[in-house]
Amino acid sequence: MLLSYFPWLLSFHILSMIAWMAGMLYLPRLYVYHAAAAKGSELSETFKVMERRLLRGIMNPAMISTFLFGGMLIAANPALAQGGWFHAKVLLVLMMAGLHGAFSKWRKVFLHDENTRSPKFYKVWNEMPALLLVFIVILVVVKPF
């Protein structure tokens, strides 16, 4: 039954992942700028609003729907979960979710004006989602093992 909806599930999984990744690439960039802003300034307060809206309005729902549709894809076609590439992909996606959690924690640090990290720190972490994404996409498309 679910297998007949596979193209739709896959489409929504990909769309969810794109929305999640857009946020994962943008939020740490906001942190770069926020770390350079004076605490309590109008600019800092603007970043707080932008970060909250991005995380709660886009990233959290997109991550949840990515996992939901991914799970439905596996339920529709359990054979997908049999390759080594899939297990590696799941590990990397869990790492992405952990990174999402770190980004969420950092938002709370900025919210309370408690950030002590430099913009350079956030620039480095800004690259991590892109790096994970490269490997995830290669695993899914190439299926090297």
pTM strictly above 0.85: yes
Question: What does the pLDDT look like over 64-102, one tens digit per residue?
Answer: 999 999 999 999 999 999 999 999 999 999 999 999 999
If pLDDT is split at 50, 70 and 90, which confidence band does 1 have?
confident
pLDDT for residue 61 is more than 90 = yes
Domain count of the fold of the chain = 1
What's the mean pLDDT in 20-48?
98
Rounded Cα distance, 94 and 56, in Å: 19
Rounded Cα distance, 122 and 99, in Å: 12
Rounded Cα distance, 52 and 35, in Å: 15
Q: Which domain holds residue 44?
A: 2-142
Structure tokens at 95: 């790492």
